[in-house]
């Protein structure tokens, strides 16, 4: 079985991949995400997420040519704007306030590079947010500190209370790594997944 490498420093993705029971390593991808986003400002959100997922996986193929490399990217698409990780408390509250009472799309792209081939899968989840006040959102952000999460929420924690409805094919894609699709891609490559 070839080495499995997750091209990510995300603790969320590491925890999700561990659920499959396969040995793997994590390496930081050699990609400047912010520069890529600026250069590709006219791309559709799905194209951008897929580009970044592929770039992350392929950024390690020179250093790890015999490994299977996994890259993933996640972003929020709302009214033609792309929301990534807010980075600050104020940024998180502003993102959430803009989306409160409305629906947005959470786009999670997955890329698997193996033996010179790249396989891509993208999950698009519709997130229907409750109408919420600035005070409620400030209280939420103070509790969960979702500063490193696309869209400024953590569904695995209190963030679930922000939503009326979630429409998705794979709940794990919401947390950053679509395991149903990943399992389907890894099994034909010889990874022993039940």
Residues recognised as catalytic: 73
What is the Cα–Cα distance from 185 to 19, expressed in whole angstroms?
A: 16
Residues 6+ apart with CB under 8 A from 188: none
Q: How far apart are CA 155 and CA 161, in angstroms?
A: 8
Quickly count: other Cβ atoms within 10 Å of residue 114's Cβ: 22
Helices (H), the chain: 11-18, 33-39, 45-58, 89-99, 134-144, 171-174, 179-186
């Amino acid at each position: 079985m070839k080495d499995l490498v997750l091209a990510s420093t995300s603790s969320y993705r590491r925890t999700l991949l561990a659920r499959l029971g396969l040995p793997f390593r994590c390496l930081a991808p050699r990609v400047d995400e912010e520069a890529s986003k600026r250069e590709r400002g006219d791309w559709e959100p799905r194209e951008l997420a897929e580009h970044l997922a592929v770039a992350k996986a392929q950024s390690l193929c020179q250093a790890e040519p015999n490994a299977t490399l996994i890259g993933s990217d996640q972003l929020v698409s709302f009214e033609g704007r792309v929301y990534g990780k807010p980075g600050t408390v104020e940024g998180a509250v502003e993102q959430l306030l803009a989306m409160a009472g409305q629906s947005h799309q959470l786009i999670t792209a997955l890329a698997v590079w193996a033996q010179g081939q790249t396989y891509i899968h993208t999950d698009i989840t519709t997130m229907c947010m409750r109408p919420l006040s600035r005070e409620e959102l400030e209280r939420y952000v103070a509790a969960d500190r979702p500063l490193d999460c696309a869209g400024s929420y953590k569904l695995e924690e209190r963030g679930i209370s922000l939503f009326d409805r979630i429409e998705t094919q794979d709940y794990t894609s919401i947390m950053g790594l679509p395991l149903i699709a990943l399992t389907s891609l890894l099994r034909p490559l010889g990874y022993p997944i039940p």
